[in-house]
Each structure stands twice: as structure tokens, then as C-alpha cells.
Chains A and B, each alone.
Chain A
Amino acid sequence: MNEKAKGRLIDGLLLAMIIVPFLLAITLRVLYKPAEEGITISGALVYLEIPLPLQPLLVTEAMVNSWAVVIALFGASLFLTRNLKLRPESKRQIIAEWVVEKVNGLVAQNMGEKFMPFAPYIAAILGLSAASSLSSLLGLYPPTADISVIAGWAIITFTLITHYKLKSGVGSYIKGFFEPIPFFAPLNIIGEVATPVSMSFRHYGNVMSGTVIATLICAALQGLSKSLLGWLPGALGNVPFLQIGLPAVLSLYFDLFSGCMQAFIFAMLTMLFIAQADPAAE
């Protein structure tokens, strides 16, 4: 009985680990900048400036929210993989096995058996990106709408790509830029640098433009309902009735579909580029 109570307690703590970071992030946001009238479209708020010799280190909303996402995902993985048994009994083990199987299948299909150790990295990218984009459903500023977060992931991928390209030797890596004729060298270098830039811009642009369009439409609906239904008596005239419903449909596309889609595409491109860069593949 004591064992059971202990297990329950750990489960509760892990569940709290999933939920509490988001609550803290929301509280911080609300305390730092209370909701105000009208609309504002701006980048991530800067919570804190740490003075450093070259330039101040900014602790932004996007960073804080992505820490929250990281802690929540960590808690979720610990929660799902507790009490693993050889023969799955609990629902959570079945979910965990399903996730691992899906990611393993994806990596095996797109990169080949040789790259199976990459499965955790791909799963991390997928989970982080999807959870970050979906955190906008809680009213948080999605970390993926900030280019510095995505650029960090794209730079990791770029490093991996370059690592695999360098495996064929530094000489042939440099020689690869001068093919098919030396005249193409600048173009090849630009093409090499364009990979992380386009990867990060694709993801960031989709999420950011979704947020901006949703904000604009909310503001437009507020104005429309004020001018159409403003004649209603008393407090009824101030209630933005048109804002009910329609933004939810838009959020279905911009937050749910677009966020998950971009996470998948980012992971897919990561896999394809890394597998392509491997000299043994040719």
C-alpha cells in the first residue's frame, strides 16, 4: 500500500511538472504586462536585461516560454516512461511505445537504418517544435514565432550537416564548392548558407504570420461588432459578439494545423539533409 501511495505521489509531481511551467509563464506574462485595450503587434517582451561587457543579454518571453516547454516535455517523458514493463500493462507505456515506434519508423524510412541513433534528436525537434507552436493556444507567446529560437535549431542541424560532409575529408569538402566549374563557387557557398536560413525562416514565418493575422482579424471583428451592434442598450453594446467563434476556427488552422505541419516539415528536412550529406550514401 505504501508503495502505491509513493507511486501516486511521484505521478502527481510529474504531472505538476508538465502543467506548472506553463502556469508560471502565463503568470509572469500577466504580471509583467497586463492586458490592455486595442491591439499591439510586437515581438517578444524583454523580461530582463543582464549587463555584459559587449552587449546586454536579453531574457525574452520567447526564451522563458521555451524553457517552460522544455521542462514540460521532460516531465511528460518521465511520466510516460515510469514503471516500464516487458509486457505493457498501462496506457501510458502503450502511448510511449507508440511515439517511439512512429519516430523510429520515420527515421528508418527517410534516413536508413544506419542513422537510427538520430531518432531521439528528431523526436526532440518534433516535440519541441510542435509543443512550442501549440503553446499559443494557452495565450502564451509561441517561442517558434521568434526567429532566434528557430535559428538555434537550424544552426544545430547545419552543424550536423557540415559534420557529415566533412567526413569525406576537408579537401573534398572544399573541392565540392568548386564544382561543376570554379565559377560557381560563390553560388555554392550561398546555397550552403541558405539551408539553415530558409529552414528557420519557413518555420518562423508561418507561425509568426499566423499570430499576426489572428490578431488583426480579432481587432477587425471587434471594430465591426462595435459599429454593427453598438446600438444595443447598455452593456450589451460593448460586448464584441462577432468575436465569438470565428477566431477559434482560424486558430484551428493557424495554431493546430500550421504548427504541427511546420514541426513535421522541419524534422523531415533535417532528416533528409543529414542523410544526403553523408558521403557513404552516394
Chain B
Amino acid sequence: MIELAIGIMLCGCALGAGIALIAGIGPGIGEGQAVAKACEAVGRQPESKSAVTSTLILGCALAETTGIYGLVIGILLIFVAPGRFVDILMSAIGK
């Protein structure tokens, strides 16, 4: 019985990690749009390339934040959460 409980827990952790990485969609679209606009800006005014590039990199790093949140949650769910949850289960049933 306890194997089943642990199996369900690991399954939940793995599924959760996968679902958490859906957060990557948002920054992907956002950064793509930012890069597209930056390309347009450079095409229109090639002399402002360095200013556009530095602003773009700063903005991309900011927009990446939500994706990083998802990644952190995924990493924690895979590497940290299973051990913690199994410990909690074991102490709950008194083993």
C-alpha cells in the first residue's frame, strides 16, 4: 500500500514539474515580440543599434522572470520535493 502512495506522490511531482514549465510560453512569446520590434527599430535607425541592443537585453532579462519562476518550481519539484514529501508521509503513518 505504501509503495502505491509513494508512487502517486512521485507521479504528482513529475506531472507538476511538467505543468510548471508551461510558464515558459509567456516569456517566449514576449521576448520574441521584443526582439522583432528591436529588429524593426535597428532596421529603421541603424545608427541606434547599440542603445537598442542594451535596452533589449535588459528588457529580455526582466521578461524572463516569470519563466524562471516556473523553472525554479520545476527544479524544486523534481530534486527537492519528493524526499520532503516521502518524509512527511512516513512521519504521518508513524514509521
B15 at the A interface (CB under 8 A):
no
B58→A265 contact, CB < 8 A = yes
Stretch at the interface among B1-9, B37-45, B65-73: B65-73
Residue numbers in B under 8 Å from A206 (CB-CB): 64, 68
Residue numbers in A under 8 Å from B62 (CB-CB): 202, 265
A219 to B57, CA, bound (A): 30
B interface SS class: helix
Closest to B57 in A: A261
B61 at the A interface (CB under 8 A):
yes
A212 to B68, CA, bound (A): 13
B68→A265 contact, CB < 8 A = no
A205 at the B interface (CB under 8 A):
yes
A interface SS class: helix
Q: How far is the CB of A91 from chain B (nearest CB, A)?
A: 27
Residue numbers in A under 8 Å from B57 (CB-CB): 261
If A201-B68, A201-B69, A202-B68 touch, whether A208 touches B61 (CB-CB below 8 Å) is: no
B86 at the A interface (CB under 8 A):
no
A41 at the B interface (CB under 8 A):
yes
Q: How far is the CB of A269 from chain B (nearest CB, A)?
A: 8
- Tally of A interface residues using CB under 8 Å: 17
Contact mask for chain A residues 225-247; partner B; CB cutoff 8 A; 1 contact, 0 none? 00000000000000000000000
Closest to B75 in A: A212
A209→B71 contact, CB < 8 A = yes
A256 at the B interface (CB under 8 A):
no
Closest to A211 in B: B75
Beyond A201-B68, A261-B57, 16 additional pairs, beta carbon < 8 A: A43-B80, A201-B65, A201-B69, A202-B65, A202-B68, A205-B65, A205-B68, A205-B69, A205-B72, A208-B72, A208-B75, A209-B68, A209-B72, A209-B75, A261-B61, A265-B58
Mark A residues whose CB is within 8 Å of B.
41-43, 198, 201-202, 204-206, 208-209, 212, 261-262, 264-265, 268
